[in-house]
A and B are shown apart, each in its own frame.
Chain A
Amino acid sequence: MKLFARIRSWLTWMVKRSQQENAMEVEVRFHIESYAADLVRSGVPQPEAMRRARIEFGGVESHKDAIRASLGLRWWDDLWIDLRYAARKLHNSPGFTLTAVLVLAIGIGVNVAAFSVFNLIVLKSLPVRDPDSLIRLQRRSPENIVGQMPYPSVVFYREHTKTLSAVMVTMGTRMEFEGDVQPMSANFVTANYFTELGTSAAYGRVLDPAREDRADAAPAVVLSFGFWQRRFGGDPSIVGRIIHLNKKAATVVGVTPFAFATLGAQYPDVWLPMTQQVYFVEGSKVLTDASAGSVEMWGRLAPGVTAQVAEQELLALTNELRKQHPKDIWDHEFIKTDPAGHIQVMKPEMYLVLAMVGALTLLILAVACANLGGLLLARGVTREHEIEIRVAIGASRQRIFRQLFTESLLLALLGSVAGLVLGFVVLRMTLVMIEAPAWTSAAPDWRVFLFALGMALATAIFFGLAPAWHIARQRQRKTIARQLLVGAQVAASCVLLIVAGLLVRATQHVMYTDPGFGYEQAISIDPGLASHGYTPTAARTYLNEFENRLRAVPGVASVSLSRMSPLGITVSFMTVDILGRQVNIYPNWVGPEFFQTMSIPLLRGRGLLPGELGAVVVSESLARKQWPGEDPLGKQFWQKDRVVGVAGNARLNAMNDGDTVEAYWAAQAADMPAMTLVVKTAAAPEGVPLMVKSIAASIDPKLFPYIRLLKADFHKNVQQVEQAAMVVSLLGIVALMLAAIGLLGLVAYAVSERTKEIAIRIALGARPSHVMVVILRQFVWPVAFGLLAGVAGTVALSQFLRRVLFGISNLDPTGYLGGIAVLIAIATVAALLPASRALRVDPMRALHCE
């Protein structure tokens, strides 16, 4: 109540200031005149009465000031005055203002861009109906993490749950479209998918639970907006037309909207009803097989139900399910829910990447702040005179400090606005580059605005507080502040440069060294036998036939089976403790000609025989880790398997991660439905896929193998690292430029401050080199400490980088030395440039100046 009254009164004064001031004036005049009138009545003559009334009232203006102070208005009045003064000051030195705003815009802009990405991924909700109640559901147990669920389990949960108001299923797959060699992507979804998200079609209709949930419904397909544009030129009459997927006819019922927001950022070319999966993928057992995980499960929490309550209920249902399928449910299995109302379902390692990016961008801001701090200190010298006068006419230190800080605040706000613009441009470019979903937008929302405002305040405190304090106390001649600033800048740019150096090294390593396997002339073929319901025997026959037919193709050098498709989407690894260290082993089950086909050298021993049991081939690095300094041949590995050979390192499924090792076993009969084929061609492989396709069609027309040229995937992989290296290098260069400007400014300032001293030294015959040493000595230690701190920081930070360095050590000396060398070179130039000016000082003129 009291607070409310205060706010109301304060607002009245803020809004109707001149009216209130007038009223105050009228009231005071009324008082004085009334008193004077009373005095006249008591016999005092009129002029004398007015004089006495005024005297007894006291100083009108000082009372008015007291009134304003009692309302809390003084603070705002002062702020307003300071702001106007600051604006004038900045306007009068456009060079300084421009430099400062530019430096801040870069520092803040980079952070705004990084935060915007974080906002987009983590904070922003999907533009769908009630996004907060959407969840992703996954099977978990202490030993297992699996993203996919058996469809019958999902049906069981859906029929019995009371905590979920809806259950949706998605299943991504590749399909052949009208005889194309390149497959198209398709998502099978339950028919409630679109209605639950509240999406309606751009043309025609979306899937309809009333129609497409029935197994006997006519085959229907919904086209994505992009696919419709690409393949049908955006022709609206497509609705109702028949198209062929996997050679099966289906009617186009509609087209999704342009800015369609989907669960888990899945953007396939077409959407198909889950119930018709068997129709499109002949022989598929997805809808009935309770043992194989094949679909992703999504749900919507019922109103008022929390995720924990839902998890409890689902745990009870899982235990119920175990009674029906004892073999298919793990020990201690439970369902884990994750919020799904955002563009991505976040994984812990993604937070790590975000934290890493955040740390790097904050470093840039630190450099920018340190830089500006230096500029402000230097500026303090030129304003010494002004401040001396203000102190002399009675300004308090606090008042001067406040005024100087207001100036920094204004600068920070200007920088923040420029940073917002820069951040918008950067994010816009990023979104275009990564082909972000059409509903995403680079326009800042309230969170980004708030972040930019917070950044402005934080930077103002960082770069403005200390210099304002120093200048207000007129103690800016202290060199320690300057040295700290130099040290901080050098340390922060050092981290950025070394990280950039490491990433550049990693990119070079990938591009110019052998990845350990032949990708230029290799083709991967995934016939998808398991998804078409092939039995092990049928799969064996099919693969035999396929292998034989492939060998007969001219230009094919060798063919082999491989359970894991090289550079494929499906990855499997086991984390094993080797001599106290956690090592990820990538296993593969292969045919006898695998090493030859993939051009992986056999360094010791022999390869695997067809179907051989109890034998394993390990990679060189695995052998070195497991049996350092010993002969691995004949050693026991895993479940009493004997090491028969050692193969070269070949990170087929974890190209970026230098810490991984590989182990190979002979493929067994039971593995056959999961097998893929690898082919090595004698010459360029481009023409071969078409022949592979016709062979596949003639063996079993129901199957539509996924055929990939490994070199395309390899280059895509490298490109991603190149982009990351480019971005970090850019950040490093920006930081370096900032640090160089900062150092340049500080040395120039130190020189100008000591012009007289230098002139005297020169006049007395000091050698130029000696003068140089005197000037630069105070910067040597800060730079050295900065470098040391920077290297230490990078060593700590780069632990997180190991996984993306393509086998380059995160302590790679070349990367470190490169970064440090560049930094020292730039720092030297930045210091020598202004220092050399000091040597050209004309002693006579310098000394006459004063």
Chain B
Amino acid sequence: MGKQIDLLQGTLDMLILKAVSLGPLHGYGVLLRIQQISGEQLEIQQGSLYPALYRLEHQGWITSEWGESDNKRKAKFYRLTAAGRRQFLSETEKWNRMAALIAGILRTTSEEI
């Protein structure tokens, strides 16, 4: 557990959008997918996933419908909407720019100033 990283503020939304962009998922599935693609590195408090999911749906970026899970149970599946895809792309771009910028700053050595 000690090696896991805490989530940065505001990144959970982006991770959820990424997870459902790969295909419709139910809430638990979203959690599993994020853990899977992060290589089990991220710690997400399970329950806090839901307020984020509902908020994203409220904003119209994901949409949900009831379906059947792998174990033949009724479950709510989330899917990215067109608006959600646009939002995800712009968030991704912003994130990459920011990450590159911060990385650049951190690489700076005393000779370069």
Chain A positions within 8 Å of B, measured between CB atoms, are 1-2, 4-6, 9-10, 23-24, 26-28, 30-31, 34-35, 37, 56-60, 62-63, 66-67, 69-72
The 5 closest A-B pairs by CB, nearest first: A5-B60, A58-B47, A63-B47, A66-B51, A70-B55
Q: For the complex, is B42 an interface residue (Cβ under 8 Å from A)? A: no
Q: How far is the CA of A31 from the CA of B73 in the complex (A)?
A: 11
Cross-chain contact A71 with B60 (CB below 8 angstroms)? no
Cross-chain contact B75 with A30 (CB below 8 angstroms)? yes
Given A30-B69, A30-B74, A31-B28, is A63 in contact with B58 using a C-beta cutoff of 8 Å? no
B21-33 CB mask vs A (1 if < 8 Å, else 0) is 0000011100100
Q: Please, which residues of chain A bring their CB within 8 A of the CB of B47?
A: 28, 57-60, 62-63
Q: For the complex, is B59 an interface residue (Cβ under 8 Å from A)? A: yes
Cross-chain contact B48 with A58 (CB below 8 angstroms)? yes
Q: For the complex, is B109 an interface residue (Cβ under 8 Å from A)? A: no
Cross-chain contact B54 with A26 (CB below 8 angstroms)? no
Q: Please, which residues of chain B bring their CB within 8 A of the CB of A4?
A: 60
Cross-chain contact A63 with B50 (CB below 8 angstroms)? yes
Cross-chain contact B69 with A67 (CB below 8 angstroms)? no
Interface residues of B in 17-46 (CB under 8 A from A): 26-28, 31, 45-46
Q: For the complex, is B57 an interface residue (Cβ under 8 Å from A)? A: yes
Q: For the complex, is B14 an interface residue (Cβ under 8 Å from A)? A: no
Cross-chain contact A10 with B58 (CB below 8 angstroms)? yes
Q: Please, which residues of chain A bring their CB within 8 A of the CB of B85?
A: none
Given A27-B76, A34-B28, is A5 in contact with B50 using a C-beta cutoff of 8 Å? no
Given A56-B46, A60-B47, A69-B51, is A5 in contact with B75 using a C-beta cutoff of 8 Å? no
Cross-chain contact A67 with B51 (CB below 8 angstroms)? yes
B9 CB, nearest partner CB in chain A, Å: 15
Q: Please, which residues of chain B bring their CB within 8 A of the CB of A57?
A: 46-47
Q: For the complex, is B5 an interface residue (Cβ under 8 Å from A)? A: no
Cross-chain contact B45 with A58 (CB below 8 angstroms)? yes
Q: Please, which residues of chain B bring their CB within 8 A of the CB of A71?
A: 54-55, 58
Q: For the complex, is B108 an interface residue (Cβ under 8 Å from A)? A: no
Q: List 26 A-B contacts (CB under 8 A).
A: A1-B83, A2-B59, A2-B83, A5-B59, A5-B83, A9-B57, A9-B60, A26-B74, A27-B27, A28-B47, A30-B69, A30-B73, A30-B74, A31-B28, A31-B46, A34-B28, A34-B71, A58-B45, A59-B47, A60-B47, A63-B50, A70-B51, A70-B52, A70-B58, A71-B54, A72-B58
A727 CB, nearest partner CB in chain B, Å: 55
Q: Please, which residues of chain A bring their CB within 8 A of the CB of B45?
A: 58
Q: Please, which residues of chain A bring their CB within 8 A of the CB of B52?
A: 70
Most chain-A CB neighbours within 10 Å: which of B28, B74, B83? Answer: B28
A77 CB, nearest partner CB in chain B, Å: 15
Most chain-A CB neighbours within 10 Å: which of B26, B31, B46, B69? Answer: B46
Cross-chain contact B60 with A1 (CB below 8 angstroms)? yes
Cross-chain contact B54 with A70 (CB below 8 angstroms)? yes
Chain B positions within 8 Å of A, measured between CB atoms, are 26-28, 31, 45-48, 50-52, 54-55, 57-60, 69, 71, 73-76, 83
Chain B residue with Cβ nearest A23: B76
B58 CB, nearest partner CB in chain A, Å: 5
Q: How far is the CA of A270 from the CA of B52 in the complex (A)?
A: 75
Q: Please, which residues of chain B bring their CB within 8 A of the CB of A69?
A: 51
B90 CB, nearest partner CB in chain A, Å: 13
Q: How far is the CA of A37 from the CA of B52 in the complex (A)?
A: 24
Cross-chain contact A63 with B60 (CB below 8 angstroms)? no
Q: How far is the CA of A6 from the CA of B50 in the complex (A)?
A: 17
Chain B residue with Cβ nearest A72: B58
A31-B27, A58-B46 are known; give 9 further A-B pairs, CB within 8 A: A9-B60, A27-B26, A27-B75, A28-B50, A30-B75, A30-B76, A62-B47, A63-B51, A71-B55
Q: How far is the CA of A72 from the CA of B59 in the complex (A)?
A: 11
Q: How far is the CA of A69 from the CA of B54 in the complex (A)?
A: 10
Q: Please, which residues of chain A bring their CB within 8 A of the CB of B46?
A: 31, 35, 56-58
Q: Please, which residues of chain B bring their CB within 8 A of the CB of A63?
A: 47-48, 50-51
A381 CB, nearest partner CB in chain B, Å: 42
Q: How far is the CA of A347 from the CA of B69 in the complex (A)?
A: 75
Chain A residue with Cβ nearest B45: A58
A244 CB, nearest partner CB in chain B, Å: 78
A212 CB, nearest partner CB in chain B, Å: 65
Q: Please, which residues of chain A bring their CB within 8 A of the CB of B69?
A: 30, 34
Cross-chain contact B28 with A9 (CB below 8 angstroms)? no
Q: Please, which residues of chain B bring their CB within 8 A of the CB of A56?
A: 46
Q: How far is the CA of A1 from the CA of B83 in the complex (A)?
A: 9
Q: How far is the CA of A35 from the CA of B73 in the complex (A)?
A: 13
Cross-chain contact A35 with B59 (CB below 8 angstroms)? no
Cross-chain contact B71 with A9 (CB below 8 angstroms)? no
Q: Please, which residues of chain B bring their CB within 8 A of the CB of A28?
A: 47, 50
Q: How far is the CA of A72 from the CA of B51 in the complex (A)?
A: 11
Chain A residue with Cβ nearest B55: A70
Q: How far is the CA of A66 from the CA of B45 in the complex (A)?
A: 13
Q: Please, which residues of chain B bring their CB within 8 A of the CB of A23?
A: 76
Chain B residue with Cβ nearest A58: B47
Q: How far is the CA of A782 from the CA of B99 in the complex (A)?
A: 66
Chain B residue with Cβ nearest A27: B76
Most chain-A CB neighbours within 10 Å: which of B26, B27, B52, B60? Answer: B60
Chain B residue with Cβ nearest A31: B28
Q: Please, which residues of chain A bring their CB within 8 A of the CB of B76?
A: 23, 26-27, 30
Q: Please, which residues of chain A bring their CB within 8 A of the CB of B51?
A: 63, 66-67, 69-70
Q: Please, which residues of chain A bring their CB within 8 A of the CB of B50?
A: 24, 27-28, 31, 63, 66-67
Q: How far is the CA of A237 from the CA of B57 in the complex (A)?
A: 73
Q: How far is the CA of A157 from the CA of B47 in the complex (A)?
A: 80
Most chain-B CB neighbours within 10 Å: which of A24, A34, A37, A71? Answer: A34
Q: How far is the CA of A37 from the CA of B71 in the complex (A)?
A: 10
B81 CB, nearest partner CB in chain A, Å: 8
Q: How far is the CA of A26 from the CA of B76 in the complex (A)?
A: 9
Q: Please, which residues of chain A bring their CB within 8 A of the CB of B60?
A: 1-2, 4-6, 9
